[in-house]
Amino acid sequence: MTLEKKKLYRSRDRMLGGVCGGVADYFGIDKSLVRIIFAALILAGTVGFWLYLLMWIIIPSE
């Protein structure tokens, strides 16, 4: 039995930066759900915006 290491990448299927698509692929959940969560975080305050921007810069593209 081999264990594959998952890597977090920004998705090519992107709306803005591919962050939500990459996070959704990594955790195996729906991309729309991740986008809704990020939108709620952005509307709740600036934490979501800064988190998305930081992830866009740090996470490599696929």
Write out pLDDT tens, residues 3-45.
Answer: 678 899 999 887 889 999 999 999 999 999 999 999 999 999 8
Answer whether residue 2 is part of any domain: no
Answer whether residue 39 is part of any domain: yes
pLDDT at 60 over 90: yes
Contact (Cβ atoms closer than 8 angstroms) between residue 62 and residue 10: yes
pLDDT at 52 over 80: yes
pTM score > 0.85 for this model? no
Answer whether residue 13 is part of any domain: no
Answer whether residue 5 is part of any domain: no
Contact (Cβ atoms closer than 8 angstroms) between residue 42 and residue 48: yes
61 has which bridge partners?
Answer: 10
pLDDT at 2 over 70: no
Rounded CA-CA distance 41/2 in Å is 37
Answer whether residue 4 is part of any domain: no
Answer whether residue 29 is part of any domain: yes
Domain count, the chain: 1
Cβ neighbours of residue 2 closer than 8 Å, sequence gap 6 or more:
none
Rounded CA-CA distance 18/51 in Å is 14
